[in-house]
Amino acid sequence: MAKYKIGFIGCGNMSGAILKGALDGGVLKAAEVAVYDISPVANEKAASWGVATKDSSSALCQESEMVVLGVKPQQAPEMLAACKEALEDKAALSIVAGITVERLQAMMGDNTRILRVMPNTPAMVKEGATVLCSDSTFTKQEQALAEAIFKGIGSVEWVPEKLMDVACGLSGGGPAYVALFIEALADGAVKQGLPRAQAYSLAQQTCLGSAKMLMETDIHPGALKDMVTSPGGTTIEGIEALERGGFRFAVMDCIKAASEKSKKL
């Protein structure tokens, strides 16, 4: 029996968000987790949460039941070369964007089981949207453990590997697009004279409330829009301005660009 339930290689923005959400939500206990990161800042952050930090990726892999690969795509080959042997017969959960199971398997050897995952940063506050790849060599038990961890910090969807790039384009990068939208809403209100703090507060709550309303009722997004849009009213003026700026095309094109980049990584 391994000493740690889960080990993280790389504990930056995304792994850090997963770990923080899982610890805060009681999905994982600090004693069940270890981290190995080449960055002292990331190690200090993990240590401040009560999590063990290791001196090498090999030590981390040997002592962990399941290992999260949490480095940038460009850093993955070097990272995996350092712990290939230690990953033998282990379950490796990769959050690395764009790197296929086939490429991961080639870098790790045939005896490592793999599950690709596309998480997102709201995992930090237990509101993540995680996509798990159904083309996996994890055992049923390991798949269930991974699903339980991510369900503890938000929602989980399973998709085949061919849809992992779209998942990256939509939910993986989505928090950045939503943040941009919130910032733009607030900037627009500040231009019209609203104080900055109130502008952010209203923009954030409006996005949260609208998403919650769609999730908790059967109301279609188009119907929600119609509910707000009085004939000859103010909202239709705003919608016309958005459409003049190519809003919907820009958003669709954004998902296309991000998904295509994921394919090329």
Ligand X SMILES: NC(=O)C1=CN([C@@H]2O[C@H](COP(=O)(O)OP(=O)(O)OC[C@H]3O[C@@H](n4cnc5c(N)ncnc54)[C@H](OP(=O)(O)O)[C@@H]3O)[C@@H](O)[C@H]2O)C=CC1
Ligand Y SMILES: O=C(O)[C@@H]1CCC=N1
Report the Cα–Cα distance between both ends of the chain, in Å, rounded. 36
What separation in angstroms does the CA of 209 have from each of 18, 60, 201, 214, 239? 24, 42, 12, 9, 19
Query: What is the torsion angle, in degrees rounded to the nearest 10, for the CA atoms of residue 46, residue 50, residue 53 and residue 57?
Result: -70
Q: Which of 34, 79, 115, 199 binds ligand X (CB under 6 A)?
A: 79
Q: Which of 36, 99, 173, 186 binds ligand Y (CB under 6 A)?
A: 173
Q: Which of 6, 9, 34, 46 binds ligand X (CB under 6 A)?
A: 9
Report, in Å, the least distance between residue 244 CB and ligand Y.
Answer: 29
Interface with ligand X in residues 155-214 (CB under 6 A): 172
Q: Which of 60, 61, 97, 104 binds ligand Y (CB under 6 A)?
A: 97
Number of residues binding to ligand X, judged by CB under 6 A: 27
Q: Which does 52 bind (CB under 5 to 8 A by kind): ligand Y, ligand X, none?
A: none
Distance CA 54, CA 185 (A): 44
x/- binding map, residues 32-61, to ligand X, per CB under 6 A? ----xxxx--x--------------x----
Q: Is 73 in the site for ligand X (CB under 6 A)?
A: yes
Q: Give the residue among 152, 80, 150 at the shortest CA–CA distance from 118.
A: 150
Q: Is 96 in the site for ligand X (CB under 6 A)?
A: yes
Parallel, antiparallel or unpaired: strands 128-133 and 113-118: antiparallel
Give the number of C-alpha atoms closer than 13 A to the C-alpha of residue 39, restricted to the C-beta side. Answer: 14
Which residues contact ligand Y by CB under 6 A? 97, 168, 172-173
